[in-house]
Amino acid sequence: MNAKKVYPLAFLIPSVAIYTLLFFFPSLFSFYYSMTDWNGFNDRMNFIGLANYRQLLEDTSGFMHDLKNTVVFGLATTVLKNGIGLALALLLNEGLRSRNALRTIFFVPYSLSPLIIGLIFSSIFDANHGLLNGALTAVGLESWTQGWLIDTRFAMPSVISVETWKFVGFNMIIYLAGLQMIDKAYYEAASIDGASRWAKFSHITLPLIMPAITINLVLNLINGFKVFDLIFVLTRGGPGNVTEVMNTAVFREFSAGRYGSATAIGVVLFLLTTVIALSALRLLSSRTEVE
């Protein structure tokens, strides 16, 4: 056999083997367990078909509520992280003297542990002694103080804001990389033709950073739908179930010993995340980058 054909196979076969062992088989086992009455109280595990999935669909006040929260959180954080990240990238790409320091400052939150971030913002959002309410009181806006994590109106927006703060620097770096790959000659030619700033952005910048947009949108959608640690540390799904998402529901079901039901929720979340991420990837990849 030709050595040029054997060499790539030497890397491909181990990769496929590892993928099969660490992802494909566990996924199959998870799907099987989701169709059983597996729990922490009985030694026997019986096959019950799609009963767990049927129960989830019928639980409109539980699972469907968690599904809605997951979608809202995923979409809201994706829009905010990309919008703010792109705005910061455009600003720092203009040649500010302090741009290197600002890049570091904006990127630091991404490197912090979600546990640390949760503890910090739990203190900041504390209703009685929190930094945010203290600052509002100090500037005469005491009427604006809220129980940010214990009020049903503000709990989800507060968690979304923390998630956005954490990841906006990562999005900014990806967009900066895309912006710095654009040849300045395009902008010079557009200026000669009398193009406005908006025309340059919409006809030059946006099409040429489409790969960066695709990467950020897909990664943010995946991260948004699989959120757990930040919500668990900040609110544990409360107050009530206002910030309950599918991964916190999985944790709740496992903690209650309902392993089959918990696995079913995990399978649904995996399929939902995969379908939405692949759909977004296909939609964005089909767009023409440059006409």
In this prediction, residues 105-120 reach a mean pLDDT of: 91
Domain ranges (residues) in the chain: 63-285
pLDDT at residue 3 in the model: 56
**240-264 residue pLDDT tens:** 889 999 999 999 998 888 899 999 9
In this prediction, residues 177-193 reach a mean pLDDT of: 90
pLDDT at residue 75 in the model: 94
pLDDT over 70, % of the chain? 93
pLDDT at residue 131 in the model: 92
In this prediction, residues 152-172 reach a mean pLDDT of: 95
pLDDT at 290 over 50: no
Report the distance separating Cα 284 and Cα 217, nearest Å. Answer: 9
Contacts of 64 (CB under 8 A, 6+ apart): 57
pLDDT at residue 189 in the model: 92
Report the distance separating Cα 166 and Cα 162, nearest Å. Answer: 6
pLDDT at 190 over 70: yes
pLDDT at 203 over 80: yes
Q: What angle do CA 88, 93, 94 make, to 5 degrees?
A: 110
pLDDT at 42 over 80: no
Question: Between the CA of residue 199 and those of 175, 182, 183, 211, 283, what are the distances in Å?
Answer: 19, 15, 16, 20, 24
Judge contact between 248 and 231, C-beta under 8 A: yes
pLDDT at 268 over 70: yes
pLDDT mean across residues, the chain: 87
Backbone angles phi, psi at 140, to 5 degrees: 85, 15
pLDDT at 6 over 70: no
pLDDT at 289 over 50: no
**163-174 residue pLDDT tens:** 999 999 999 999
pLDDT at 288 over 60: no
pLDDT at 20 over 60: yes
Q: What angle do CA 264, 265, 268 make, to 5 degrees?
A: 90
**Confidence bin at 234 (pLDDT 50/70/90):** very high
Tell me if residue 115 falls in helix, strand or coil.
Answer: helix
Question: Between the CA of residue 288 and those of 180, 185, 211, 239, what are the distances in Å?
Answer: 20, 21, 10, 45
Residue whose entry in the numeric block shows the structure tokens 């597996």 = 38
Tell me the CATH class for 63-285.
mainly alpha
**48-89 residue pLDDT tens:** 999 999 988 887 778 889 999 999 999 999 999 999 999 999
**Confidence bin at 98 (pLDDT 50/70/90):** confident
Judge contact between 73 and 156, C-beta under 8 A: yes
pLDDT at 221 over 70: yes
pLDDT at residue 4 in the model: 59
Backbone angles phi, psi at 290, to 5 degrees: -135, 130
